[in-house]
Amino acid sequence: MASTGAPTEDLKFTPLNALHKELGGKMVPFAGYEMPVQYPAGIMAEHKHTRAAAGLFDVSHMGQVLITGADPAKSLERLVPGDLVALEVGRMRYTVFTNDQCGILDDLMVNKRANDLFVIVNAACKEQDIALLKAGLPDCQVEYLADRALLALQGPQAVAVLARLNPAVSELQFGQGAEMQLGPHACFVTRSGYTGEDGCEISLAASEAEAFARWLLAQPEVKPIGLGARDSLRLEAGLCLYGHDIDTGTNPIEAGLAWTISKRRRAEGGYPGAAIVQQQLAEGVSRKRVGIQPEGRAPAREGTEILDSAGRKIGIVTSGGFGPSVDAPVAMGYVETAHAAAGTAIALLVRGKPLPAKIVTLPFITKRYAKA
């Protein structure tokens, strides 16, 4: 999700910082934290291992927020277009904060529990998000859980590993969450993730995170994974990175996130920028987020201009790199709607040279979420 640099002296540290360094992690500034971009095995190996077995990600830099009140789901709908009232207890929903122009302030995950909402926001946006929640939800209590760590175990063998500590993990469907013990650790576990793979995210006390991570890494299926592979995994899965594929200059409809807005919320509105969403749903948008498959082996990075067959600029790449699972470069970006259909031939202006590419349907890989 979101990324921003920060001066080294101002960096914060997650509870696993020392462990990352012990494991040989290459540490870089990310969203105000010192985080591992890769380990000695390298990004390619880490990416492929996650797709084949189980990769452990430290996502403790993300913001964990608890919202309580008489009806926190109804209250939070004042700030997001997601249908939270209809969300069943024990389920989670992806949604976005919008401004009055329907620009995206951040994307977030909302877990509906029996007595509260457990919300995950992006690291780089969490201070503004918490301020937004406190100002916009005067009828609720908003608590930032600074003493919690957040780990993600992703890949086809992830759930089997966690089930050694508690078989109840296997009973969760993708998009469900529950409080449970994992060995000696009291955790909130969601069957979720941002890689396109099955897996879980685990919230637990920061003081217990290193011991839990060491247990996971002692399992033969599990290896540590850094930010580099996390980015290539989510790109192959066609998932947005805040600050790149979505930001205040994009809105949910052109970003391909109309699926996050239910029929009731489309009709009723009640969130910032709702009238714009209603207009765009009725009239269409001028540009759309699309998948892009470059020909050859040269990747197209963020900021690369997208050209039509006549050499006219029709859009820009917002995320791009090499996709290890598809053994080819992959990218996402925005193009004029007239050029957004899958199969459309385009060119990418890489180092001043137009290289052939085409529009493709996202994602680049088959998502392997566990569903009933």
Q: What is the pLDDT of residues 164-185, one digit of tens each?
A: 999 999 999 999 999 999 999 9
**Residue range 239-245: mean pLDDT, rounded:** 97
- CA–CA dist 271, 254 (Å, integer): 18
In a domain, 49, yes or no: yes
Residues 232 and 291 in one domain: no
| Widest distance between CA atoms in the chain | 63
Q: Does residue 199 share a domain with residue 52?
A: yes
> What would the pLDDT profile of 201-213 be if each residue is shown by its tens digit?
999 999 999 999 9
- Does residue 298 sit within a domain? yes
Residue 239 pLDDT level (bands cut at 50, 70, 90): very high
Asked whether residue 182 is domain-assigned, the answer is: yes
- Long-range Cβ contacts of 364-367 (<8 Å, 24+ apart): 364/235, 364/236, 364/237, 364/238, 364/291, 364/293, 364/323, 364/325, 364/326, 364/330, 365/51, 365/196, 365/236, 365/237, 365/323, 365/325, 365/326, 367/196, 367/197, 367/237
Q: Which residue, 203, 236, 269, sits at the end of a domain?
A: 236
Dump pLDDT digits (tens) for 321-332. 999 999 999 999
Q: 103-113, pLDDT tens digit by residue? A: 999 999 999 99
Q: Please tell me whether residues 202 and 318 are part of one structural domain.
A: no
Domain shared by 159 and 232, yes or no: yes
Residues 52-64 pLDDT 10s: 999 999 999 999 9
Pair 215, 294 in one domain: no
CA gap 265, 84 in Å, rounded: 10
In a domain, 347, yes or no: yes
Q: Please state the rounded mean pLDDT for residues 301-318.
A: 97
How are beta strands 222-224 and 54-58 bridged, if at all? Answer: parallel
CATH number at residue 359: 2.40.30.110
pLDDT score for 9 = 63
Whether residues 304 and 231 share a domain: the answer is: no
- CB-based contacts of 52: which residues, under 8 Å, 6+ apart? 155, 156
> Residue 372: its pLDDT value, please?
58
Count structural domains, the chain: 2
**Residue written as token pair 């391909």:** 256
Same domain, 231 and 295: no
Tens digits of residue pLDDT in 334-347: 999 999 999 999 99
Q: Are residues 167 and 26 in the same domain?
A: yes
pLDDT score for 43: 98
Global confidence as pTM: 0.95
**Is residue 90 included in any domain, yes or no?**
no
* Residue 223: CATH number of its domain: 3.30.1360.120
Could you tell me the CA-to-CA distances from 280 to 122, 251, 285, 286 in Å, in that order?
27, 10, 6, 9
- 206 and 349, same domain (yes or no): no
Confidence check: pLDDT of 5 > 60 = no
- Give domain status of residue 352, yes or no: yes
Residue 3 binned pLDDT confidence (cut-offs 50, 70, 90): very low
Residue 295 has pLDDT above 80, yes or no: yes
Using DSSP's 3-state secondary structure scheme, residue 281 falls into helix
The Cα–Cα gap between 356 and 345 comes to 7
My answer on whether 185 and 324 are in the same domain is no
Distance CA 295, CA 167 (A): 45
pLDDT at residue number 200: 98
The answer to whether position 2 is within a domain reads no
Rounded mean pLDDT, 280-284: 97
Q: Would the pLDDT of 6 be above 60?
A: no
264 part of a folded domain: no
CA distance 310 to 273: 36
Average pLDDT, the chain: 96
Cβ atoms 321, 304 nearer than 8 A: no
Q: Which domain does 369 fall in, by range?
A: 286-372
3-state secondary structure of 20: helix
Q: Do 305 and 172 belong together in one domain?
A: no
Give the burial class of 266: count Cβ atoms within 10 A of its Cβ; 0-12 exposed, 13-18 middle, 19 or more buried. middle
